[in-house]
Amino acid sequence: MSSDMVQRARVLALAMVLVLVLAGAANAKKEEGNETIEVGDHIAIEVENSGDGDIDVRYFVAVTEGPAIDVFFMDEESYAGYVNESDFDYFVEYSTLDTTFVDKTFVWDELGVFYVVIDNTPSGTLPPEPPEERNATLRYIVTWEEAEKSYWLRDFALMLIVVCLVFFGLVLVYLFMNRTRKKKGK
């Protein structure tokens, strides 16, 4: 096989990987960071479902140093109550209390603005008493994307890659067989 064909194969493989990566991220929204949340504070990530259908929501939080935290999923009204330190509700099934590691994924079908709140306050789990152990250092990633569109695009890109790989494999077999016949004919 010539070096030109090898180079073309590499470019094709890279293009297929790029298509797959972009297909998965085309509709996704993401917020991530490494933060230290002081006792009594929180991080809020706004997640919006604009009405185009269900969304896939995923949050990953890993405390690397400090106490367990809470991760609440709530609507705008509840978040306003939370910020004003009054009574607030949250979606229990989609929240996680008293954790140092969580990786949760769910499908959300209600329209509007919602919040993933990473909490280091007494609102859920009480922070520990010794002051040196009260701040939580953590890594978080929150993603949300339209469920139906993202799966369709990802599936299409994957199918396209499979078809290209099969075609490329058949071309390689044909070239190899043709080369073998030429050598036998000499």
Residue of higher predicted confidence among 170 and 17: 170
Q: Which positions ≥6 away from 155 have C-beta within 8 Å?
A: none
pLDDT digit string, tens, across residues 57-112: 999 999 999 999 999 999 999 999 999 988 899 999 999 999 999 999 999 999 99
Residue of higher predicted confidence among 40 and 28: 40
pLDDT digit string, tens, across residues 141-160: 999 988 765 556 667 777 88
Nearest to residue 47, comparing CAs of 116, 103, 106, 107?
116
- From residue 164, how far is each of 9, 150, 170, 177 by CA, in Å? 11, 21, 10, 20
Q: What is the reported pLDDT for 175?
A: 81
Nearest to residue 120, comparing CAs of 56, 183, 69?
69
Q: What is the reported pLDDT for 50?
A: 84
Residue with tokens 């890993």: 62
* pLDDT of 178 above 90: no
- Residue 126 CA, chain-centre distance (Å), reads 29
- Residue 75 CA, chain-centre distance (Å), reads 21
Q: What is the reported pLDDT for 33?
A: 95
Determine if the pTM surpasses 0.85: no
On whether the CB atoms of residues 74 and 115 are closer than 8 A, the answer is yes
